[in-house]
Structure 1
Amino acid sequence: MARPPTAAQRRLIEAADPVTGRLKGTEAQLAALVLRGLAFRHPRPPRDHFLTPAGHRLRETPAVPGPAAAVAESAPAAAGVFAARIGGEEAAEAGPARLREVHSAWQGLLELRRMTRPDGATGLPCAWERTHLVQAAALALEAAGHRPAGAEGGGYRIRATPQPEAVAVREPDPEALRACAATLEKAGWQVGEHTEPRTGARYALASPRRA
């Protein structure tokens, strides 16, 4: 499940050009929309931001007023808000549209890294990732083409752990688990493989690097 956009983000979406979906806002505001899969940045100058299909759908959905907003807070991502696959989702959509949304979200995350670091580097996780560990790790894996586990099993699963700033990545295929670990390391995470004491199953423990 993913949180709905904030009131400020909703205003930006509703103010987008009704035909092209072109957005106006600060770099941080626009990057946050890209991260949610609601906007994308055009690769050519002037590199304006535009609504994605999910952003257009959200604009066409009336906002939930008053106390009913509490219901929207727990609404599933089907309402149009992007959520990375952590593994175990049922009836997970796949195809070109999903690939585009994942790519846009990953580019938005890299942009957020760039804007929040004094040197403008994108190699290390940002503050958002440290407060959304499971989603951040899942986005890194899905953007790199790894397959999340479906209802039938097989593929990666990412879950929170009691350890601060650490997630567990499980994948039944040892080679696929090592590939997941390599992807997270490349994305700026510190990863180590461990063994479950009771089952003997291997898993990876990943934490965002600080330096």
Structure 2
Amino acid sequence: MSRPPTAAQRRVIDAADPVSGRLRGTPAQLAALVKHGLAFRHPRPPHDHFLTPAGHRIRETPETAPPEPAPAQPSTGVFTARAGGEEEPPDTGPGRAREVHSAWQGLLELRRMTNPDGATDRPCGWERAHLVQAAALALEAAGQRPAGGGQEGYRVRATPQPEAVAVRAEDPSALSACAAALERAGWQTGEYTEPRTRARYLLASPRRV
């Protein structure tokens, strides 16, 4: 793209679904984003528009200039997968369950669209670039409980190893359940022991084949 998006286009980009990149906007706004290589129109009905990799980069880059005032509208929040360790107890209500289900379905659609063979049984490029969030979403979508607010559960953390996250849980059976959930979601896992504390943990990586 030869010039940065307008403030109106930037608002459309920023409001994209955080997982699938699905866009909502006026036909003119969406067409402009397609023209500049920041979005594409899906060939199958209902022909929704999604961010391209360039669009995702724009979305993840802080704005350098103040945006135009946006029309007042209610805040709906942005979905964030729970990696565990948050101060508040994890929300397990029906509203959160719907959000997690919707995010997981969006991620499967993103796999279908971006994996070369359209496979949905293994992670895609977005997941490899957002390892902690992707693994946490896979766990929460499988019904695993994140730690938080004094409650036990899983914790997903980045590691120095490329394309690998560490998953910890106090309960050995919960750790096994996390391994099974990640493997069903297309990840490969291995169980290891911390040399100093002797605590067991998982190393999980997105499967490539």
- TM-score (structure 1 length as normaliser): 0.68
- Contact 1:130–1:165, Cα closer than 8 Å, also in 2: yes
- Contact 1:154–1:171, Cα closer than 8 Å, also in 2: yes
- Contact 2:12–2:25, Cα closer than 8 Å, also in 1: no
Q: 1:81 aligns with which of 78, 81, 102?
A: 78
- Report the counterpart of residue 108 of structure 1 in structure 2: 106
| 2-structure distance, mates of 1:160, 1:140 | 15
Q: CA-atom RMSD, angstroms?
A: 3.2
Secondary structure of 1:203's counterpart equals: strand
Q: 1:172 aligns with which of 170, 184, 208?
A: 170
Secondary structure of 1:130's counterpart equals: helix
- Contact 1:189–1:206, Cα closer than 8 Å, also in 2: yes
Which segments of 5 or more consecutive residues in structure 1 lack a partner in the other structure? 17-22, 32-45, 50-64, 70-77
| 2-structure distance, mates of 1:167, 1:188 | 14
- Contact 1:88–1:153, Cα closer than 8 Å, also in 2: no
- Report the counterpart of residue 157 of structure 2 in structure 1: 159
Query: Structure 1 68/174 Cα, relative in aligned 2: closer, same or farther at 3 Å?
Result: farther
Larger Cα-atom Rg? 2
Alignment coverage as a number of residue pairs? 165
Query: Structure 1 79/193 Cα, relative in aligned 2: closer, same or farther at 3 Å?
Result: same
Q: Which stretch has the larger CA shift, 197-206 or 6-15?
A: 6-15
- TM-score (structure 2 length as normaliser): 0.68
1:120 corresponds to 2:131: no
Mapping for residues 131-170 of structure 1, pairs under 5 Å: 131-170=129-168
| 2-structure distance, mates of 1:112, 1:191 | 22
- Report the counterpart of residue 192 of structure 2 in structure 1: 194
Query: Structure 1 89/30 Cα, relative in aligned 2: closer, same or farther at 3 Å?
Result: farther
Which segments of 5 or more consecutive residues in structure 2 lack a partner in the other structure? 1-8, 17-22, 49-62, 68-74
Q: CA deviation at 1:6?
A: 5.2
Q: CA deviation at 1:88?
A: 1.1
Q: 1:13 aligns with which of 18, 24, 28?
A: 24
Query: Structure 1 30/135 Cα, relative in aligned 2: closer, same or farther at 3 Å?
Result: farther
| 1-structure distance, mates of 2:199, 2:147 | 16
Query: Structure 1 132/30 Cα, relative in aligned 2: closer, same or farther at 3 Å?
Result: farther
How many percent identity over aligned positions?
65
Query: Structure 1 29/150 Cα, relative in aligned 2: closer, same or farther at 3 Å?
Result: farther
| 1-structure distance, mates of 2:40, 2:178 | 30
- Contact 1:168–1:204, Cα closer than 8 Å, also in 2: yes
Quick one: higher RCO (CA 8 Å, sep 6+), 1 or 2?
A: 1
Q: CA deviation at 1:104?
A: 0.4
Query: Structure 1 97/209 Cα, relative in aligned 2: closer, same or farther at 3 Å?
Result: same
